[in-house]
Amino acid sequence: MIRRLLVSFFICASVLQATAQGGDYVDTVYTVVDSVEFEADTVYIEDSRMIILNAGFMNQKSRFVTDTISTNPALFFNFFYNGKSGFAAQLSVSRIFRGSEPTYDTQLKIGYEKSFGRFDVSLLGGLHRFKGDELLEGINYKYSADAGLAFNPGTFSLYADYTFMSGKSNNSFLNIGVSKYFDIEGIFKDDDVITIEPNIYMVFASDYWIFDDVNNQIEHRVRRSISRKGYTENVFSLFSTDMGASVSYTNNNFMATASVLSSFTSNKYKHLRIENQTSYMLSFIYMIEL
């Protein structure tokens, strides 16, 4: 049975540096939390025990309403194991640059991932640790729970991924999207292939994390500003609409992928100076069948 394994890399870059100014708006700068998920590296393998090693480079650029641009490059390494029974383990380590000190983001996830015909099911629990420049930390959380469901009719994939994060506050994210892949076979050899995969999805999120790292005075001004603009706080609502594409070259057990993802933030979060996030990733994958 052919199964579709989505190798997803998650990185959050955040500047929660709050400086409130006068007026009927909040001049609080957040570079965040788009839970940027690359559904970029798509691997088709037989249902078997697999180890996947993944390393690469990612660069996230964020443009604010003030036209200020923040760039956060990172190197990452991911280890994935998936067994025939569905047991799955993932270890992700990122080295984030441009900080005042060496900065690392580490995440361990263990759970269940398995395909049933055209359906993929994923249930994972995670531990998260961040060390270094706290201004580069996204949401401050220690534990996570993920649930995902994908339906793969032909060359399309329809998916929904839910993530719960527990830390200074409890927050939820829901991604709902669609992707389609195109294969071009026999590029240099009979068994190599280039895969082009565009995707589009919507991100819904709770907003409790907004107030995690601000004092009471700034929190009051942010809440007042949100209300004045007619937006609702402490709700689960649209965060962004995201569009991306990847180009992958696969030869036997090796894959190289270049991908881009652009995020268009909803009006509520634009009011909080979160806007126009674009991420680029270059990734290398080696698959070992056990």
Question: Domain holding 21: CATH number?
Answer: 2.40.160.40
Per-residue pLDDT of the chain (290 residues; tens, 9 = 90+): 333 443 344 333 332 222 222 333 344 333 333 333 333 344 444 467 899 999 999 987 765 544 555 677 999 999 999 998 999 999 999 999 988 899 999 999 999 999 999 999 999 999 999 999 887 887 889 999 999 999 999 999 999 999 999 998 999 999 999 999 999 999 898 889 999 999 999 999 999 988 887 788 888 888 888 888 888 888 899 999 999 999 999 999 999 999 999 999 899 888 887 777 888 999 999 999 98
Bridge partners of 67, per DSSP, are: none
At residue 71, the pLDDT reads 73
Indicate the pTM of the whole model: 0.83
Closest CA to 204 of 162, 170, 243, 158: 162
Distance separating alpha carbons of residues 43 and 74, to the nearest angstrom: 23
At residue 284, the pLDDT reads 96
At residue 69, the pLDDT reads 54
| Residue tagged 């068994």 (tokens) | 191
Neighbours of 7 (CB within 10 A): 20
At residue 63, the pLDDT reads 56
Alpha-carbon distances, residue 20 vs 23, 134, 213, 214 (angstroms)? 9, 20, 14, 11
The number of distinct structural domains making up the chain is: 1
At residue 3, the pLDDT reads 33
At residue 274, the pLDDT reads 77
- Domain range for 182: 2-289
For the CA atoms of the chain, what is the radius of gyration? 19
At residue 228, the pLDDT reads 87
- Contact between 139 and 130 under an 8 Å Cβ cutoff? The reply is no
At residue 47, the pLDDT reads 60
